[in-house]
Structure 1
Amino acid sequence: MSNIVENSEFASYVKRIQTYDYFLGGQNGINNSPIQNLADRTKFLYDKINEISVIQNSVLTDAVNLCQEIQEIFDKRSSS
């Protein structure tokens, strides 16, 4: 048994298997189509969350550095 390979893409739909669909497995099999769609969506969302996390950490680091610089300016003025 092999695993589904996830692609980082957001499928616009998830295939619903109908009662008249023949069971067909394999990489492009109709029974694996909805699983592939959901796996791809999950990978896409996971990647987006990680991107947002990296951006958020960068923004927070910049904000902390700015606050430290402002504090240093106030400390210099207070000691003068």
Structure 2
Amino acid sequence: MEKYIGQNCSCRRERPMDSRCGYDSHMKKGDQWHRHEGVDSMQAAMQYVPWQHWDQVYCPEEGLNYGTIFPELNKPFYGKGACRR
């Protein structure tokens, strides 16, 4: 059974031969990042967060219902299970 992915559901997709998720655990000494080094040795990333404008806001009751007071952030989640049938 361990050659299958998705053991919690009824789908049975075979695991690819190379299932390292794009991560090479056998990096050479000269490489920039090694498997056993922590995030302290990694470069910091640049983040960008757009400025939130207060053009329209929901009233407090609607904001509590939607989980946000900003209509542009009201993105309901209609997720489905991960198992395709």
What TM-score results when the alignment is normalised by the length of structure 2? 0.20
Larger helix share, 1 or 2: 1
What TM-score results when the alignment is normalised by the length of structure 1? 0.20
The higher radius of gyration belongs to: 1
Higher RCO, Cα 8 Å, sep 6+: 1
Larger strand share, 1 or 2: 2
